[in-house]
Amino acid sequence: LAKTTQPISMDSYEGQEVNITCSHNNIATNDYITWYQQFPSQGPRFIIQGYKTKVTNEVASLFIPADRKSSTLSLPRVSLSDTAVYYCLVVGTSNTGKLIFGQGTTLQVKP
C-alpha cells in the first residue's frame, strides 16, 4: 500500500479556494487516489476519487499530474462548515480492499 504525505494542518478564510496537496511517490499502476472528509465524532465521508488528470464533482476537484506521484484536492469557496480533517488515500484494486489512513490534513476555516 502506497504511503501518502500531506500537510498536518491548513488555515483558510471563508470564500477562499483551498488546495491540499498529497504526495504518493510509490503509487502503483492500478492504484486510485481517494479523498475522505471527517468531521469530529463522525465517520469519514467520501469526497472524490480519481486515477489521472482531473476529476470534478459537486463538492471538489482533484488534480493528478501525469506521473501520478502527487495529487491536489481543491475545495472552491470554502465555508465554516468545511472545517474538518481531510485524508488522502491511495487505494488498490486488490481483493483485500484495505484502507490505510495517514495523519490527514486538519483544515480550519475562519470567518
Partner 1 sequence: GAVVSQHPSWVICKSGTSVKIECRSLDFQATTMFWYRQFPKQSLMLMATSNEGSKATYEQGVEKDKFLINHASLTLSTLTVTSAHPEDSSFYICSARVEAGVGNEQFFGPGTRLTVL
The nearer residue to partner 1, 16 or 55, going by C-beta atoms, is: 55
Those residues whose C-beta lies under 8 Å from the C-beta of residue 19, and which sit 6 or more positions away, are 72, 73, 74, 75
- The CB-of-32 to partner 1 minimum distance in angstroms stands at 3
Among 29, 43, 58, 81, binds partner 1 (CB under 8 A): 43
Q: How far is CA 19 from CA 28, 30, 61, 79, in A?
A: 24, 25, 9, 14
Q: Is 41 in the site for partner 1 (CB under 8 A)?
A: yes
Q: Which of residues 76-105 bind partner 1 (CB under 8 A)?
A: 87, 91-94, 96-104
Q: Is 111 in the site for partner 1 (CB under 8 A)?
A: no
C-alpha gyration radius of the chain: 13
Residue 71: all three cell numbers together: 495529487
Query: Which positions lie near partner 1, rule CB under 8 A?
Result: 31-32, 34, 36, 41-46, 49, 51, 87, 91-94, 96-104
